[in-house]
Amino acid sequence: MSETTQRSMGWSRREIARNIARDIPDGSVVNLGIGMPELVASCIPPDREVLFHTENGLLGMGPPPQPGEADPELINAGKQPVTAIPGAAYFHHADSFAMVRGGHIDICVLGAMQVSERGDLANWSMGEGDAAPAVGGAMDLVAGVRTIFIAMTHCASDGTPKIVERCTYPLTGAAVVSRIYTDLAILEVRAGELGVVELAPGVDFATLQRQTQAKLVMPRVPRTA
Amino acid sequence: MIDKRFDLAAAVADVKDGATVLVGGFGAAGSPIELLHALFDQGAKRLTIVSNNTGSGNVGLAALIKHGRVAKAICSFPRTANSTVFQDKYRAGEIELELVPQGTLAERLRAGGAGIPAFYTATGAGTRLAEGKETRRFGDREFVLEYGLRADFALIKCRRADRLGNLVYNKTARNFAPIMAIAAATTIVQTESYVEAGEIDPEVVVTPGVFVDRIVTIPNAAQESTLVAAGASYP
């Protein structure tokens, strides 16, 4: 199924990943979360060198292996087989999280269940009492990585806005998000407000605001697609 | 003369009921399957297990959990796509969970192994996982007090080991093993190959032998991911 034909308006998952990749400068060290963020790796413009960190102990993560060449002892944080690029390094978990918690990773791209207008992130628990909660490295990443980008659909599958005044799900971190990249827009968390950086094709400000619970601010000169 | 080589069964013979055991591995990578199965056969119960995940399929750590041998899990991500063993026990109220952010888990092991009783971290500040914990402000940020973690045993896997216990690992199978080795009173290693002292370049030793107590040579060790893909079940 083609990703570009799923929606009549807005960006596809691949285009969201491309929008994020466009904002990752040459020379960055980047950690990608599981799911849509993983698509960013293949969207980096060829004239930029970006190093990918995976918290299970690899800096210089490469693309998935060719069929038949997967190594069960070379995986990413999502437990999928990966490769190591020339110049890669392996290290143990304390070193890996010293990179994360010590501010040595430039950008982290994560998915989200909710983001608040002040940049609070909820992406680890629905707060239900039944299933055992699992947090992984998300709280370490948002606490330690300098710039947090969120890649997600603008609304939940039932249409509920995910960009809210206050998160109702348990927080992963408070005031940690820099930018939100969705199928409808690119938003930036600034001091006290949520600014629209760019609207997706076919999306106007009023439509975007209707699908966003938090109040949005349109800049005077928005970037156009 | 120092010689840390053990037979598989003898290596885990003194793990007592109620022991705290660190188990290396991230997902299936680095999971010390043969040591875990030896521990299963040995019979110890009411174990507290410290591991990033809670096993996959019905082998290794998942087998211990499935058969009621684990009373408590200290871990960051007790979920895998291919196993409901932990979730079933948790839902039934038959296993306790202490959920720890992954980096905090790593640092608690590193600190414990280095003789540091506690430390402050920004991870988890302002979240549910900091509730009930001491916090302190340094500069303009809030930090959470977390405690170093030590254990009775560590079960880990490596690629090469020598008589003195110097270790080298394989790719991302290294993960928690080096920091578990330092945090356990008794560190038990299964190695893919055994080499003579001096064959590992001192410049590339990852875990110095002082952190290692017992070495079991298991060539062609089973990969947890391969066992799970084949639908294997232990015992």
pLDDT at B135: 98
**What is A3-65+72-217's CATH number?**
3.40.1080.10
Write out the two tokens for A37. 């963020």
Write out the two tokens for A24. 């990752």
pLDDT at A1: 39
List of long-range contacts for A199-203, beta carbons under 8 Å, 24+ apart? A199/A224, A199/A225, A200/A9, A200/A10, A200/A11, A200/A225, A201/A9, A201/A10, A201/A11, A201/A225, A202/A8, A202/A9, A202/A10, A203/A9, A203/A10
Q: Are A151 and A19 in contact (CB under 8 A)?
A: no
Write out the two tokens for B197. 């002292």
- Cβ contacts of A65 within 8 Å, gap of 6 or more: A71, A74, A81, A82, A83
Contact A97 B177 (CB under 8 A): no
Interface size between A and B, measured as CB pairs under 8 A: 152
pLDDT digits (tens, 9 = 90+) for B108-119: 999 999 999 999
Helix (H/G/I), strand (E/B), else coil: A16: helix
Per-residue pLDDT band at A3 (split at 50, 70, 90):
very low
Per-residue pLDDT band at A101 (split at 50, 70, 90):
very high
Contact B128 A170 (CB under 8 A): yes
Query: What is the pLDDT averaged over residues B175-197?
Result: 98
Q: Does A136 touch chain B if contact means CB atoms closer than 8 Å?
A: yes
| Nearest-Cα residue of chain B relative to residue A128 | B91
- Indicate whether A220 pLDDT > 90: no
Q: What's the CA gap between B211 and B227, in Å, rounded?
A: 30
In percent, how much of chain A has pLDDT > 90? 86
| Domain residue ranges in chain A | 3-65+72-217
Q: What's the CA gap between B125 and A47, in Å, rounded?
A: 38
Shortest Cα distance from B188 to chain A (angstroms)? 18
In the numeric block, the tokens 């232990």 are attached to: B234
In this prediction the pTM is 0.95
pLDDT digits (tens, 9 = 90+) for A109-160: 999 999 999 999 999 987 776 578 899 999 999 999 999 999 999 999 999 9
pLDDT digits (tens, 9 = 90+) for A53-70: 999 999 999 999 999 999
pLDDT digits (tens, 9 = 90+) for B41-68: 999 999 999 999 999 999 999 999 999 9
**Mean pLDDT rounded to a whole number for chain A:** 92
- Indicate whether A223 pLDDT > 80: no
Of the candidates A72, A97, A132, the beta carbon closest to that of B106 is on: A97
Task: Please report residues of A whose CB lies closer than 8 A to that of B123.
Answer: 101, 139-140, 143-144
Q: Side chain identity at A4, as an amino acid letter?
A: T
Q: What's the CA gap between A95 and B107, in Å, rounded?
A: 9
Shortest Cα distance from B187 to chain A (angstroms)? 16
Of the candidates B76, B126, B177, the beta carbon closest to that of A135 is on: B76
Contact A136 B206 (CB under 8 A): no
Q: Is A165 a catalytic residue?
A: no
Task: Please report residues of A whose CB lies closer than 8 A to that of B178.
Answer: 92, 94
Q: Side chain identity at B116, as an amino acid letter?
A: I
Kindly report which listed range (B56-70, B76-90, B145-159, B175-189) carries the lowest average pLDDT score.
B76-90
Of the candidates B99, B109, B171, the beta carbon closest to that of A74 is on: B171
In the numeric block, the tokens 């940020």 are attached to: B141
Triad B100, B104, B110: Cα angle to 5°: 125
Q: Side chain identity at A71, as an amino acid letter?
A: D
Task: Please report residues of B whose CB lies closer than 8 A to that of A116.
Answer: none
Q: Which of B123, B158, B180 to mutate to test the interface with A (most CBs of A within 10 A)?
A: B123
Of these residues, A55, A69, A165, A198, which one is catalytic? A55
Shortest Cα distance from A23 to chain B (angstroms)? 26
- Indicate whether A5 pLDDT > 70: no
Contact A101 B122 (CB under 8 A): yes
In the numeric block, the tokens 């960055």 are attached to: A28
Q: What is the ipTM of this complex?
A: 0.96
Write out the two tokens for B162. 């020598």
In percent, how much of chain B has pLDDT > 70? 100
pLDDT at B146: 98
